[in-house]
Each structure stands twice: as C-alpha cells, then as structure tokens.
Amino acid sequence: MKLGWSDVTPKAMWLSRRAFVSGLGAMMAAPSLARASFSTDEAPNSFEEITNYNNFYEFGFGKEDPARYAHMLRPEPWAVAIDGLVERPGSYSVADLAPENTVEERIYRLRCVEGWSMVIPWLGVPLGPILERAGVQPGARYVAFETLLDPDQMPAQKTRSMPWPYVEGLRLDEAMHPLTILATGLYGEAMPNQNGAPIRLVVPWKYGFKSIKSIVRISLTEEQPPTTWQRLQPQEYGFYANVNPDVDHPRWSQATERRIGAGLFAGRQPTEMFNGYAEHVAHLYAGMDLARDY
C-alpha cells in the first residue's frame, strides 16, 4: 500500500500543507511576464554533455563519477522540509512544490568556478512564490539549503573528503529574484540523478557551486548561513560567488571560460559580468564591493 501525505504527516503540518498547496491556483492565474527574456538563445549543450560532465561530490570528485554512480540515488519518494522563519513550516513533495502544469523551461548559462560553462535547458519553477506561500516571517533575511544526507545513496558521504551534507545559502532578495528557480528536470525530462534529482536550485548569475542539488531542506534564517565551499576554503570561495570576470580566483583567472562541447580548437570565450544576467541582477549589489564580497 502506498501511503498518502495525510497518512505520514502530522495533522497540523498537513493542514498547513493544504493551505500551501491551495495557494497554487492563485499563482497559476498570474502570468509570468518576464519569462521569455530570461532564456538565452545560445545553443544548449547536448543531453549527453549535460549528463556526463558533472560536479556532484557526493558521488566522487571526477567529472564522470556522477554519471557512473548516481544510479544509487533514489529520488522517489522525496520530501523537502521548509522551516525556520516561515508561517507554514512543513514537509512537501516535489509535486507540491512544482506541480507539473506549472513547470516552465529556462535555458540558462551555467558557469562553474573552475572555468568551464554550459547552456542547460532546465525545467522548473521560480523559488520566490514557493517561499511566499510558506509565509516568510519579517525577521527572515537569508535562505539556507541542504542536500540529502544518506551515505547508502551517496557513497562519497562515507568519506571525510568534505563536510556533509552539502549546504548552500542565498540572501532573501536573491532567493526571491525571478531568475532563481527550483529545477525538476532538463530537456523536457525528469531531472537526471547526476544533475540533482529530484529537485535542485539553479541561480544562473552565480558560480555553479551555489546551485545545490538534491535538496531536502529549505530554511529561512536571520543569520547568513554557512556554505560548504566557504567552510572548506573561505579565502577562495565566498558566500556571494557572483560570476565576475574582474575578480580572479586566487589560483586562476576568471576572465574567460571554456564552453563544454565547443571543440578542441574553439578557444576560451570571455566570461560576462553576472554570467550575462547583469541587467536583471546588478541592482541587488548596488554599493557593494564585489572584490571584498566575492
């Protein structure tokens, strides 16, 4: 017998979940005006490239390790907790957060801090309305995200190579920005395990490590949350991690990038400020010194 949500969820939580889910109708009625302009018209990478060249350290450090080992991940059933400074904390299924008929395509550039990039046709929903439905409390200033912790499904979590689980965070205004999505698929299909099934963050103007995969918890916080890469190497990886060709990594230049699949002789291409999304996001950082807040 398959358990329904009302069977496994305490009543108070179920009631708040019901309020959350019923908010969807109102949301679907509002057209997303800016949607079309968010997708790049650059040619997407192939499905093969997107699913065979990955960073997902829970499955190993090699670029081909996720494709080889991510079959161990069981993306169903899956629950995402939304908690912290919200009016309606609860446990939600992927279908609650991103009902199939609300999912839209976003073709985004992805720029890894290591200096390579891709163009990926994601499927997903904006994060902002999800947080609004959960009811952001006035004291909330940041959003913290957590990946699944289960060494049986994520074999590298049996090693101490990194602090597990992988965690990330955004400032609340970054999380609410319409470019920020929770992605549930790519190329019109459910999210491949190696890309962060069943649900992952995509923040296209930031280095790829901010786009945390296989999320099980989203917490609204007052304090800036810790992030995995800042914990590991704070002098190399900051909280903001905005793509910026003018602020080099201490060990390499960020001025250019290698587009995966472009071919051996294509050469490197210039990296764009905020990964090409400056017109949409530069205002978020007005007055900040981006060399200091890297």
Ligand X SMILES: Nc1nc2c(c(=O)[nH]1)N[C@H]1C(S)=C(S)[C@@H](COP(=O)(O)O)O[C@H]1N2
Q: Interface with Mo ion by CB under 5 A: which residues?
A: 55, 112, 208-209
In the complex, the smallest distance separating the C-beta of residue 200 from ligand X, rounded to whole angstroms, is: 7
Residue 93 binding partner per list Mo ion, ligand X, none, with a CB distance cut-off of 5 to 8 Å that depends on partner kind: none
Binding partner selected for residue 181 from ligand X, Mo ion, none, CB under the kind-specific 5 to 8 Å limit: none
Tell me whether residue 91 or residue 227 sits nearer to ligand X (CB atom): 227
* Partner touching 54 among ligand X, Mo ion, none, CB below 5 to 8 Å by kind: ligand X
Q: Are 253 and 42 in contact (CB under 8 A)?
A: no
Q: Which is nearer to ligand X, 59 or 285 (CB)?
A: 59
Nearest distance, CB of residue 148 and ligand X, angstroms: 8
Min CB(154)–ligand X separation in Å: 9
Bridge partner residues of 217 (DSSP): 81, 146
Question: Phi and psi of 242, rounded to 5°?
Answer: -75, 135
Helix (H, G, I), strand (E, B) or coil at 254: coil
With CB under 5 to 8 Å by kind, the binding choice for 69 among ligand X, Mo ion, none is none
Measured on CA atoms in the order 41, 42, 43, 46, is the torsion positive or negative?
Answer: negative
Closest residue to Mo ion, judged by C-beta, is 112
Nearer of residues 99 and 115 to ligand X, judged by Cβ: 115
* C-beta separation of 222 from 142 below 8 A: yes
Buried b (16+ CB within 10 A) or exposed e, 184-215: bbbbeeebbbbbbbbbbbbbbbbbbbbbbbbb
**Which two tokens mark 121?**
């046709």
Residues engaged in binding ligand X (CB under 6 A): 54-58, 110, 112, 147, 166, 195-196, 208-209, 211-214
Rounded to a whole number of angstroms, the minimum distance from the CB of residue 206 to Mo ion is 10
Q: How far apart are CA 222 and CA 230, in angstroms?
A: 18
Partner whose footprint covers residue 21, from Mo ion, ligand X, none (CB < 5 to 8 Å by kind): none
Strand partners of residue 122: 106, 186
Of 91 and 254, nearer to Mo ion (C-beta) is 254
- Least Å from the CB of residue 237 to ligand X: 10
Q: Which amino acid is at 287?
A: G
Please identify, using beta-carbon distances, which residue of 94 and 110 lies nearer to ligand X.
110
Closest CB to Mo ion among 5 and 166? 166
Q: How far is the CB of 134 from Mo ion (least distance, A)?
A: 28
DSSP 30: S
Contact 75, 210 (CB under 8 A): no
